[in-house]
Amino acid sequence: MKNKIYASVDEIVADVPDGASILFGGFGGAGFPNNLIRAIARKGTRNLTAISNNCGSGENELGILFKNKQIRKVHASFPGPTANYFQECYAAGEIELELMAQGVLCERLRAQAAGLPAFFTTVGVGTEVARGKEERVIGGKRCILETALGADFAFVKAWKADRIGNLVYRKAARNFNPLMAAAAKTTIVEVDEIVEVGALDPEVIITPSIFVDRMVRVKGR
């Protein structure tokens, strides 16, 4: 059976190429795969497309990748008031940005994960984000068409995993992580603790192992 467990964060991201697209879990300081992000920063991978709710907080979270000019394109919902390195890159015209409603980001990820190419939503109707999108009246309501959004890689932060990759998250650190784990070609997880197969109650598993390709145990946020 394939071993999904890697010895180090540097090894687990070693084949992420320049130009890759990456989904980053995390919201409001909780659930960011900071150890994987720092590994990509060390590796110096460039020309990345990042899909993330936020765009960093100082050098933390995605901040270091913007500081290092490693990201070229961003799909985000709320870059955030402390995303200063992102804002510098954005002001300098170095970054292509697509902003979207947070729930739309969630559903675009879910659509990708579920093999649904697109969906209609009432969110964004009559606003800037509807520009250029197909509009239709469904059930008497104005709706716009949104397309699925996935990526080459997902970087996910989990609390506990078993050795085949079933995942459990902690409190509000769950946020986007399960959605992103299911929406990438290759899902890479940093996790606080890895237990034996069978040690996690099947009733409480949030991300089933089928969505997980690689794991590494990390210490600290």
Partner 1 sequence: MPKERLTREQIAERAAQELPDGAYVNLGFGIPNLMSNYVLADKTIYFHSENGILGMGPRAKAGEEDYDLVDAMKMPVTVIPGAAFFNQAEAHTMTRGGHLDVAVLGAFQVSEKGDIANWKVPGAKGSGGIGGAMDIAVGALRLIVCMEHNAKDGAPKVVKECSYPLTAIECVKTVITDLAVLDVTPQGLVLREVAPGFTPAEVQECTGAKLLVRGSVPEMKLGGPLG
What span, in angstroms and rounded, lies between the C-alpha atoms of 203 and 169?
Answer: 14
Residue closer to partner 1 by CB (options 129, 195) is 129
Q: For residues 75 and 54, is the Cβ–Cβ distance under 8 A?
A: no
Q: How far is the CB of 42 from partner 1 (least distance, A)?
A: 24
Residue closer to partner 1 by CB (options 11, 94) is 94
Q: How far is the CB of 14 from partner 1 (least distance, A)?
A: 29
Q: How far is the CB of 2 from partner 1 (least distance, A)?
A: 26
Q: How far is the CB of 17 from partner 1 (least distance, A)?
A: 27
Residue closer to partner 1 by CB (options 5, 30) is 30
- Residue closest to 66 by CA, chosen among 39, 28, 95, 42: 95
What span, in angstroms and rounded, lies between the C-alpha atoms of 200 and 164?
Answer: 11
Q: How far is the CB of 149 from partner 1 (least distance, A)?
A: 13
Residue closer to partner 1 by CB (options 171, 219) is 171
Residue closer to partner 1 by CB (options 76, 188) is 76
What span, in angstroms and rounded, lies between the C-alpha atoms of 101 and 113?
Answer: 19
Q: How far is the CB of 124 from partner 1 (least distance, A)?
A: 6
Question: Given the rule CB under 8 A, which residues bind partner 1?
Answer: 27-31, 53, 55, 76-80, 86-87, 90-91, 97, 99-104, 106-107, 109-110, 121-129, 170-179, 206, 221
Q: For residues 145 and 156, is the Cβ–Cβ distance under 8 A?
A: no
Residue closer to partner 1 by CB (options 138, 197) is 138
To 5 degrees, how large is the angle CA 122–CA 124–CA 129? 145
Integer angstrom CA distances of residue 123 from 100, 128, 149, 182: 10, 11, 17, 23
User: What are the backbone angles phi and psi of residue 98, rounded to the nearest 5°?
Assistant: -115, 115
